[in-house]
Chains A and B, each alone.
Chain A
Amino acid sequence: MYKAVIIGGSAGSFQVITRILHSLPPTFPLPVLLSLHRLKHVRSGFVEALSIKSGIPVVEPFDKDQIKPGRAYLAPANYHMFIELGNKIALSTEEPVNHSRPSIDLSFVTAAQVYRDKLVGIILSGANRDGAYGLKKVKDLGGLTIVQDPLECQVKTMTEASMKLTKVDHVYSTNEIIKFLQSIK
């Protein structure tokens, strides 16, 4: 019933993302879109590090790549990642938004416009407010919204900002997020 999962977070949520990806079966029926802030000068190696333990292939997509189920698409360093109608990735090098490129808001808003009520949006731990507006759009357009339990987050700014702006559907621990994703058939 869902068509895609989109996850936003920052460099600090690396371990949580690794755990989530590790828990997904190779037959996971949806694409997973990852819009994550990176440390300033660490631009490469991220996708390799995430791939090692992931249950599904992780790629940094090319512009106009067709989005396929059972794969994770990591927004490339220094690009915004948009989702286009027709299930395609669109990249852009326009200026950072709220000091962020990729901008989680832009990825979430465009994904919400394409997948509407068939989208699951998840916000993890992060150090700025990017993502809060995007998650609100997911909710407004009928998608399911999940925020990582702030008690579990090293940095709560992103999750708390999201919860302030949106009445999110679930506040989940990492384990609960994993359980939820594994239950998607």
Chain B
Amino acid sequence: MNVTDQDLQYFISALKNYTKYDFSDYSDKSLKRRVEKVLADRNLDVTGLITSIKNSQEFAELIVKEITVNTTELFRDPQTWHLLRSRILPRFKNNKNINIWHAGCSTGQEVYSMMILLNEMELFDKAKIFATDLNSDVLDAAKKGQYKYRFNIGYLDNFDKVIKQNPLNYEEFNDVPYDKYFEIDKAKDTITMKKFLTEKPIFRKHDLVKDGNLFFAKFDLILCRNVIIYFNYNLQNNVFELFHSNLYPKGCLLLGMHETILGPWATKFEKIGQAYVKK
């Protein structure tokens, strides 16, 4: 099903008029592709899709969940976690608190990865973890902290790379057992995060397009990884402004491995590796 630019505009207007979501400033190519996928999966054409959005709030909500991309992994991009471990998190070790916001946390693997790393660095108790996403289904999954074992098995490698090995010294090896942090049940095909992890973060629904800072706090570290690739330049700049004004001085913003700040906000940060430090 080929979606034209005009179709896409109609679709975006329908969502804007009949829901509280505004996708006008999403990146064209990926949004179009997602709409095409929804049409194919549901065997609908654009007119049918728009009519159903107008007729049912619930349907519209479902569609919004389907057009956003929710893929995530435990310790996705180990290099990023090495950077956090060796150069970013140590900056905060003398703080009384470390406030961390995961914006666009999806099903929570990034949040659990962070808590595991913090615990290994003995920073867990100081940390306050806030995690948000547009999609309430992924937040429910994140709160539960239970994942399919088979699907995540490959990512245990990432755990080993970040938690067991020391990239600065390959001789060093810490045999941290998985069950310190999660239970693996191969028969039930589940990985379940331990209670001391699931009960720590504050998960909230939050829309980066229109919501400000939901928490009565500023942050030492904001992670927003693989979210702004779906936004256009304008929306990216708005989001950078939101992050910049809610970071403490010297606070860090971490984007995905292949995301950068392109516009005017770049000058308001210094870079440490791929991390942006507020000047």
Contact = CB atoms under 8 A, between A and B. Distances in A.
How many chain A residues sit at the interface, stated as a range, is 20 to 34
A95 B71 contact: yes
A84 B28 contact: yes
A76 interface: yes
A82 B259 contact: no
B113 to A, nearest CB: 16
Contacts of B257: 76
Dominant SS among interface residues on chain A: loop
Contact of A44 (B27, B79, B157, B229): B79
A106 B29 CA distance: 10
Given A40-B154, A110-B29, A93 B226 contact: yes
B29 A82 contact: yes
Given A64-B262, A79-B258, A93 B229 contact: yes
B269 interface: no
A61 interface: yes
B157 A93 contact: no
A60 B260 CA distance: 13
B69 A94 contact: yes
Nearest to A113: B29
Contacts of B30: 82, 90, 92, 94
Contacts of A110: 29
B44 to A, nearest CB: 19
B144 interface: no
Interface of A: 40-41, 44, 60-64, 76, 79, 82-85, 90-95, 106, 110
28 contacts: A41-B154, A44-B79, A60-B258, A61-B258, A62-B258, A62-B260, A63-B228, A63-B229, A63-B258, A64-B233, A64-B262, A76-B257, A76-B258, A79-B258, A82-B30, A82-B33, A83-B29, A90-B27, A90-B28, A90-B30, A90-B229, A92-B229, A93-B71, A93-B226, A93-B229, A93-B256, A106-B33, A110-B29
Question: 5 nearest interchain CB pairs?
Answer: A63-B229, A94-B69, A82-B29, A92-B30, A90-B29
